[in-house]
Chains A and B, each alone.
Chain A
């Protein structure tokens, strides 16, 4: 992204002439969840990313949402089923399987 694009981004402006139209700040904020979830439909990841890269107003929103998700995922990554549950489950399944 050029310096000019970044400068335009600071004011919620558009991309350089001849390039793709940059999305607006309102659109970027509306799409922040779909962008982070990889679920954008009518706009590309690159277009939204370009806006956040260039826009000082919107980028902190993206950072907040990212930081939030990292914290929530951190919880998930540390939780595993107790080994005794796995063992009990296998026994139960074997038992049910043997009953036919």
Chain B
């Protein structure tokens, strides 16, 4: 007997509305729009086939992000850089340490309103996000672009909430540093006097 797409009740209403969000996530994970489209396609097909494992009315977006990331990681497991997360080892900065943001120290006096971020073109921000290690990038994208709560990000990345906070802290600092340096290089703001954002 031939089944219609409706054989997965609720898929259209609950999963497909997240297409844009999953596409954005896939774009940040992958290296090209073509790869992102392919990733999205596989994500939704897997979700469709596994729809009976999803509890309707729960966190469809997080579930789709989980599938998308798992597909991405599996495809890239051979090319993963294993040195990316070395900064999570003991002795590196994280929440609770180095509270004064070095970028803030740098812009103090030259851009007290911190408007320089607004001057930076989308493409540069996208590139800077893309240059983050995957673990930081995923945390930053899910929190800052998609607004997921820490607990959902933790579940999705299979790490404790504390690790999510730590990755967000480091990812944001790294991103801010790169964007600040770009803003100085482009002349959007003068370099902060005698400051060092490498801390």
Residues of chain A at the chain B interface (Cβ within 8 Å): 26, 29-30, 33-34, 37-39, 60-61, 63-76, 78-82, 85-86, 88-90, 92-94, 96-98, 100
How many residues of chain B get a CB closer than 8 Å to chain A's CBs?
A: 57
Flag if B172 contacts A68 (CB, 8 Å).
Answer: yes
Q: B37: which A residues are within 8 A, CB to CB? A: 82, 85
Given contacts A80-B23, A98-B5, contact A68 B122 (CB under 8 A): no
Interface stretch (choices B61-69, B76-84, B112-120): B112-120
**Does B19 interact with chain A (Cβ within 8 Å)?**
yes
Flag if B2 contacts A100 (CB, 8 Å).
Answer: yes
Flag if A81 contacts B20 (CB, 8 Å).
Answer: yes
Flag if A68 contacts B99 (CB, 8 Å).
Answer: no
Given contacts A33-B172, A79-B24, contact A71 B120 (CB under 8 A): yes
Flag if B114 contacts A89 (CB, 8 Å).
Answer: no
Q: B4: which A residues are within 8 A, CB to CB? A: 94, 97-98
Flag if B117 contacts A71 (CB, 8 Å).
Answer: yes
Q: B8: which A residues are within 8 A, CB to CB? A: 97
**Does B1 interact with chain A (Cβ within 8 Å)?**
yes
Flag if A89 contacts B146 (CB, 8 Å).
Answer: no
CB-based A-B contact count at 8 angstroms: 130
Flag if B24 contacts A76 (CB, 8 Å).
Answer: yes
Flag if A72 contacts B23 (CB, 8 Å).
Answer: no
**Does B126 interact with chain A (Cβ within 8 Å)?**
yes
Closest chain-A Cβ to B44's Cβ sits at a distance in Å of 5
CB-nearest residue of chain A to B115: A67
Flag if A67 contacts B125 (CB, 8 Å).
Answer: no
A-contact bits for B84-127, CB 8 A (1 contact / 0 none) = 00000000000110011101100110001111011010100110
**Does B136 interact with chain A (Cβ within 8 Å)?**
no
CB within 8 Å of A: which B119-173 residues: 120, 122, 125-126, 129, 140, 143-146, 149-150, 165, 168-169, 172
CB-nearest residue of chain B to A72: B144
CA distance A64 to B150 in the complex (A): 21
Q: B6: which A residues are within 8 A, CB to CB? A: 97
Closest chain-B Cβ to A86's Cβ sits at a distance in Å of 6
Question: Contact check: which of A64, A72, A88, A96 meets B48 at CB < 8 Å?
Answer: A96
CA distance A52 to B108 in the complex (A): 17
Known: A69-B144, A73-B144, A100-B1. 5 other contacts (CB 8 A): A64-B114, A75-B122, A80-B23, A93-B5, A96-B48
Q: A86: which B residues are within 8 A, CB to CB? A: 16, 19
Flag if A88 contacts B125 (CB, 8 Å).
Answer: no
CB-nearest residue of chain A to B15: A93
Q: A67: which B residues are within 8 A, CB to CB? A: 113-115, 117-118
Q: B175: which A residues are within 8 A, CB to CB? A: 68, 72
CA distance A81 to B18 in the complex (A): 10
